[in-house]
Amino acid sequence: MRALARVSLGRAGFAAVVVLLAIVPLTTPPFWVTLGNYIGLYSIVALGLVLLTGVAGQTSFGQAAFVGLGAYTTAYLTTRYGMSPWLTLPIGLFITFAVALFLGFITLRMRGHYLPLATIAWGISLYFLFGSLDFLGGNTGLTGIPPLALPGFELKSERQFYYLIWAIALCALWASNNLLDSRPGRAIRALKSGLEMVEAFGVDAARLKIVVFVYAGLLACVSGWLYAHLQRFVNPSPFGINQGIEYLFMAVVGGAGSVWGAVIGATLITLLKQWLQDLLPHILGRAGNFEMVVFGVLMVLLLQRAREGIWPWLERLLPKRASPPVPNAPPLPARHKTTRQGALLEVDAARKQFGGLVAVSDLSFEIRSGEILGLIGPNGAGKSTMFNLICGTLPLSAGDVRFCGASIGSRQPYEIARLGIGRTFQHVKLIGSMSVLDNGALGAFLRSKAGVLRAALKLDRAEEARVKAEAARHIARCRLDAHTFDAAGSLALGRQRIVEIARALAADPLLLLLDEPAAGLRYLEKQELATLLRSLRTDGMTILLVEHDMDFVMGLTDRLVVMDFGEKLAEGLPAEIQKNPVVLEAYLGGVA
Amino acid sequence: MDLTITALLAQDGITNGAIYALLALALVLVFAVTRVIWVPSGEFVAYGTLTLAGLQLGKPPGTIGLLVGMAIIAGAIETWSCLAHGQTRRLPRRLLLWTGVPLAIAGLVQWLAPLQPPFAVQIALALAAVTALGPLLYRIVYQPLAEASVLVLLIVSVAVHFALTGLGLWFFGPEGSRTPPFSGESFRIGDVIVSAQSILVVLTSVLLIVALYFFFGRTLYGKALRATALNRVGARLVGISPNLAGALTFTLATLLCAFSGVLIGPITTVYYDSGFIVSLKGFVGAIIGGLASYPLAAAGALLVGLLESFSSFWASAFKEVIVFTVIIPVLLWRSLTSRHHEEDE
């Protein structure tokens, strides 16, 4: 009952914002309506940056150029060819899509700093291009842009336009919020925690980053289209690099982690700029862009002291939304499990060299269906390197790895995940701010289909319910149901390792790879882990366990492969390995 | 286009390219050691020219006010951090270093400026005044953020660029300045006229690059910076202070920027906000070198200079567009040749 009240309070809050927005133009002088229009236009752009910067961990200084692209496309086509503005919007979106796709493709496969640098260059290029192309009117720009018209009436006054801008802004907020709470959204939120993790669940991280960049570009383009028809003229000056930087400031000030941060940031920066431009000339006795100094200093202080922006502070004041209960939904379709006879995975003379160092030297072994195989060895033996060769995180120098008879030696990690190999990480990689349930749901990424569009329009709810139900089932199977709605980061290390196993299980793998799952666990936690792994084996799961804790491995595994200095030292049943003199020598430095 | 024009354009391009090369080296250096993408480097270029221009007129340059202000802020931060950590005994030394030295430089410039000392002394004063700003900036802005991600450091850099541009307007005013050439002479090599000015610029750049090469190859501090660039944690473990490495890097990089400003002064009129575009050309060069290779960055910067000078002949309206669009094929090539995409730190 109380939870219900809280949810409706959240709805009431949203309704209050809408009512407030609706009455502003009716009660305030035109000056405030104009400001409200700009805040709406900027919010749309900043929203894209919230997703790109705050959520996906990338950034762009070139959003003003995308705004310009939207504005100039409609300005040119409507004034020169008399096209309807409703037709120029899709054309502008298409051009933006193509440009963003291209820029994203060439920069987002590399390290994070290439995109911002490329967007600075592209922002400046486009700005100069607008100013020097004669058919776009050079620095004077284009005038006489027709107003937007609906059948029956034209949107000529600022007040009318206000409602259109904010209707679009609220739709964009709604869609972006939906997107974040969905299958692609979980993957986008996971991007910041490292690409290795998302790729292990079948996410093509480079593609996803490009998708977010394109999404942000399209929002900027819509804002530009609105701007052109609001102002009825365009020139290059509002699309320069400084405006692009201010858009980023808005997203950062507001709080780049939440969609509402975009509106807060756009409002604050716009009002502050307005106020400073009135105030500073009086104080300083000189005219000039001195608000830049204030903005710059404020940003530095903010990033030094409160990197999350203003929204988290406001959020704390709002009533907390209760988590909705796990929906009761049918299970997701499971992988067709043929009982393969013999080897599920074959490692055939795998080799990995780092310069002159041979970390894994022509190692061969196999994992049979339904067994727990332990890969053990002293520190530095090359176990983790071997593990990464199987997952595709590291490319092989020579040799091959076959899974179900097919070579996976040169596949990307997300392709290997698709074939049915699940994994955990030696250093736990969960998204600490997300609930255990959402972390688990990320594991089921490959078993669901919803794309960005379906998610944004909230058409994915039936599938989403099944994903959540599936994740909850695996969390319960790992006996973590008491923590389903806790933030993953709030759990103890031992529990976090189990969450990683639940997440891997949600992917319905044929083979589970565990990288030192017992490291840093206490005695009781280790026993719980061993019980869980045994029960998984009983259910038919095949497991590769990389460990250096001999006691943990001995009672649990069916067979052992021992590595030392990148080579296979021994292979056999745990009892045989325990007596093997070569192994004892490697571990204890000689038999006494 | 005949040979004479080609030679003239090439000479222009190489001269500008040599200046961009200094900037490209500064950018690669700062990124390698501190992971900061140093967008505000351009402001120091502009400060360099404008400070020298001020000294030429016998006026105390605006840099003095900036230097005094930053020295006081750095002193306040040091005092606060020493008191908060109970290290009062260290305070006098730190104040001497962070406030005393910059104030002494500011005082010296203030005192000598109206005396109109010889040109070489003026250059030395301009370099000293501008270079002193670099470590102060590091201390005030970047040192508290040393553990932040590349992304946060980049956004901070852009914010600093905003602030320094505005401060440039305040301290130097909106007027542009040009400094007199180092030498008005020129001579002929065959059919080609070469100005002594160009040769001086190129020679100075080459000398600075060689000096850097020796600094990194032969001196302990240079090696410490290289170690930090290769492995921050490892360098820290062997006793190299990351704060020292950062401050030293910013000193060197600011010196390179101030030098670029002194060299570019006679070539073009510099305004308080001209530095940004100049430094971005350095960035294009640095990106050609993958933000990692010094020789490739310098070569890339030279290419940018040549491209700029030839495109100003062929299509002067699109000069900037062409220069900034070059990075597209460079990035495309880099993107297609890297198999696994890279992780951030």
Check residue B1 and give its pLDDT.
66
The SS3 of residue B341 is coil
> Is residue B328 very low, low, confident or very high in pLDDT (cuts 50, 70, 90)?
confident
> Is residue B325 very low, low, confident or very high in pLDDT (cuts 50, 70, 90)?
confident
- Per-residue pLDDT of B241-271, as tens digits, reads 888 999 999 999 999 999 999 999 988 899 9
What tokens does A65 get? 């150029």
Check residue B162 and give its pLDDT.
93
Query: Which chain B residue has the Cα nearest residue A197?
Result: B343
Q: Is residue B236 part of a domain?
A: yes
Asked whether the predicted pLDDT for residue A76 surpasses 60, the reply is yes
Nearest C-alpha neighbor of A253 from the set A324, A183, A305, A318 = A305
Closest CB to A57 among B141, B151, B170: B151
The SS3 of residue A142 is strand
Check residue A127 and give its pLDDT.
92
Check residue A46 and give its pLDDT.
96
Check residue A3 and give its pLDDT.
39
Check residue A338 and give its pLDDT.
63
Asked whether the predicted pLDDT for residue B101 surpasses 90, the reply is yes
Check residue B342 and give its pLDDT.
45
As a whole number of angstroms, the distance between CA B86 and CA B78 comes to: 12
> Is residue A540 very low, low, confident or very high in pLDDT (cuts 50, 70, 90)?
confident
Number of domains in chain B: 1
Question: Average pLDDT for residues A544-569, to the nearest whole number?
Answer: 88
Q: Is residue B108 part of a domain?
A: yes
Mean pLDDT is highest, among A42-51, A146-155, A393-402, for: A42-51
- Per-residue pLDDT of B60-73, as tens digits, reads 899 999 999 999 99
> Is residue B338 very low, low, confident or very high in pLDDT (cuts 50, 70, 90)?
low
- Per-residue pLDDT of B133-142, as tens digits, reads 999 999 999 9
- Per-residue pLDDT of A131-155, as tens digits, reads 999 899 888 899 999 999 888 788 8
Least confident among A181-190, A393-402, B315-324: B315-324
Check residue B154 and give its pLDDT.
92
Give the range of the structural domain holding residue B46, as residue numbers without chain letter: 22-271
* CB proximity B292 to A under 8 Å: no
Task: Enter the pTM of the model.
Answer: 0.90
The SS3 of residue A233 is strand
Question: Average pLDDT for residues B331-345, to the nearest whole number?
Answer: 61
If one looks up domain A343-588 in CATH, what number appears? 3.40.50.300
The SS3 of residue B186 is strand
Contact A530, A555 (CB under 8 A): yes
Check residue A284 and give its pLDDT.
85
Contact A387, A363 (CB under 8 A): no
Closest CB to B167 among A120, A125, A293: A293
Q: Which of residues 49-78 of B touch A (CB under 8 A)?
A: none
Question: Average pLDDT for residues B157-173, to the nearest whole number?
Answer: 94
Asked whether the predicted pLDDT for residue B340 surpasses 50, the reply is no
Check residue A377 and give its pLDDT.
85
Q: What count of CB pairs under 8 Å joins A to B?
A: 151
> Is residue A309 very low, low, confident or very high in pLDDT (cuts 50, 70, 90)?
confident
What residue has token string 């486009």?
A126
Asked whether the predicted pLDDT for residue A10 surpasses 80, the reply is no
> Is residue B217 very low, low, confident or very high in pLDDT (cuts 50, 70, 90)?
confident
* CB proximity B324 to A under 8 Å: yes
Percent of chain B with pLDDT over 90: 48
Check residue A5 and give its pLDDT.
40
- Per-residue pLDDT of B1-50, as tens digits, reads 677 888 888 988 999 999 999 999 999 999 988 889 999 999 999 999 99
A196/B343 Cβ within 8 A: yes
Check residue A248 and give its pLDDT.
94
Q: What is the ipTM of this complex?
A: 0.91
Percent of chain A with pLDDT over 90: 47
Q: Where are the domains of chain A?
A: 27-241, 343-588
* CB proximity B342 to A under 8 Å: yes
Nearest C-alpha neighbor of A472 from the set A498, A441, A515 = A441
As a whole number of angstroms, the distance between CA A165 and CA A162 comes to: 5
As a whole number of angstroms, the distance between CA A377 and CA A197 comes to: 25
Q: Is residue B104 part of a domain?
A: yes
Q: Is residue B10 part of a domain?
A: no
Asked whether the predicted pLDDT for residue B344 surpasses 50, the reply is no
Which residues in chain B are contacts of A112 at CB distance < 8 A? 150-151, 344
* CB proximity B306 to A under 8 Å: no
Question: Average pLDDT for residues A305-332, to the nearest whole number?
Answer: 82
Check residue B107 and give its pLDDT.
94
Check residue B90 and give its pLDDT.
85
Closest CB to B284 among A121, A299, A304: A121
Contacts of B112 (CB under 8 A, 6+ apart): B121, B125
* CB proximity A11 to B under 8 Å: no
Nearest C-alpha neighbor of A467 from the set A487, A436, A442, A431 = A442
Q: Is residue B68 part of a domain?
A: yes
DSSP bridge pairs for A515: A546
Asked whether the predicted pLDDT for residue A2 surpasses 60, the reply is no
Contact B140, B126 (CB under 8 A): no
* CB proximity A100 to B under 8 Å: no
Contact A124, B328 (CB under 8 A): no
Which residues in chain A are contacts of B62 at CB distance < 8 A? none
A303/B159 Cβ within 8 A: yes
Question: Average pLDDT for residues A402-411, to the nearest whole number?
Answer: 88
Q: Is residue B335 part of a domain?
A: no
As a whole number of angstroms, the distance between CA B102 and CA A249 comes to: 31
Would you state the torsion angle of the CA atoms of residues B92, B134, B260, B290, taken in this order, to the nearest 10 degrees? 140
Question: Average pLDDT for residues A445-460, to the nearest whole number?
Answer: 90
Q: Is residue B282 part of a domain?
A: no
H helix intervals, chain B: 3-34, 41-56, 63-84, 91-95, 101-112, 119-131, 133-137, 150-172, 196-218, 220-230, 232-237, 242-264, 275-288, 294-314, 319-325, 327-337
Label residue A117 left, alpha or beta by phi (over 0 means left) and psi (-120 to 50 means alpha). Answer: alpha
Check residue A340 and give its pLDDT.
65
Closest CB to A297 among B163, B321, B335: B163
Least confident among A46-50, B128-132, B151-155, B317-321: B317-321
For chain A, what percentages of helix, strand and coil (3-state, to nearest 5) are there?
A: 60, 15, 30
> Is residue A86 very low, low, confident or very high in pLDDT (cuts 50, 70, 90)?
very high
- Per-residue pLDDT of A231-255, as tens digits, reads 999 999 999 999 999 999 999 999 8
Question: Average pLDDT for residues A325-351, to the nearest whole number?
Answer: 81
Which residues in chain A are contacts of B335 at CB distance < 8 A? 105-107, 109-110
* CB proximity B328 to A under 8 Å: yes
Closest CB to A116 among B154, B277, B331: B154
As a whole number of angstroms, the distance between CA B308 and CA B267 comes to: 14
- DSSP for A44-68? HHHHHHIIIIIITS---S-HHHHHH
